[in-house]
Amino acid sequence: MAKSDVSPPQPRDDEPAGAQTPAGAGVGVNDGGASSVLVGLVGAGIQASRTPRLHEREGDAQGIRYMYKLIDLEVLGLSIDALPEVLTAAERLGFTGLNITYPCKQAVIGLLDELSADARALRAVNTVVLKNGRRFGHNTDWSGFAESFRRELLDVRRNVVVQFGAGGAGAAVAHALLRLGSGHVAIVDTDRKRAEDLANDLCGRFGPGRAFAEADVAQAVSTADGIVNTTPLGMVKYPGMAVSADLLRPEMWVADVVYFPLETELLREARARRCRTMSGGGMAVFQAVGAFRLFTGREPNGDRMLRQFDAM
């Protein structure tokens, strides 16, 4: 059963997200300054991921023998039900840890021994450290999104934000938006109950009315300062948009967590309508910054990793 008695950090609004990521949480961090690391990414349809090269190149720059493997459930012909076997196999093969992505970020929780405060609050895990026979779950997605937002959109108005998606990524992004001072987050999801559950969790942490499930997409977007897509829509495997392009207005900002491709259909339509935009590239880099720190016990160079990502 997952457990943790670590309290969530409360950073200042101007504190870099990299400083908040779970290395300071004291839960299952590899703290020996590793000289060799074997990690992997678990998910479905992940062959286009840039994460392995991003980690390995930063490892090279720090003199670490760093090996990052893709564990693609789709390629292996496995379903999410195979997740327990995957974690056991990783332990037996000596993996330092695993990154976790769609559709496993919430399903993995019941297989872990302990959670960081962020992972526990968000009920989503994207990084698992395997240490001393135990499994420690962390979430570096929210801080990765927050750091990207700080760098690209910190000056935008965000009294009302409409977020599409209430899954693992959605929980992290909504948490980040409210931590960054957004007034209200309206959550749209095809699963109404999932949207309501996430909104209730957020209100429990940030106060009544700060988040709510929304069914009337057109009405919500018509009064929104910005929108964020946290669904898989826009990925190569899942083309399309979560919102009609006709609802986009020039005064809005539009963010997407999808990073392959960097210019999703949503961002392309938003730019055509003169909206300010933010791709998922920054979130991908800065969640990796936090995961690298957890896996290695070393401090990564976030700016260097961002340059490496841009060069890929």
The answer to whether 237 is a known catalytic residue is no
Residue 278's DSSP bridge partners are 255
Nearest to 105 by CA among 47, 52, 20, 44: 44
Sheet with 226-229, side-by-side order of all strands: 211-213, 184-188, 160-164, 226-229, 253-256, 276-278
Burial of 71 (0-12, 13-18, 19+ CB in 10 A): buried
Q: Check 3, 69, 105, 131 and give the catalytic one.
A: 105
DSSP state of 235: S
286: tokens are 């800065």
Residue 211's DSSP bridge partners are 185
Quick one: three-class SS letters along 8-21? Answer: CCCCCCCCCHHHCC
Active site (catalytic) residues: 105
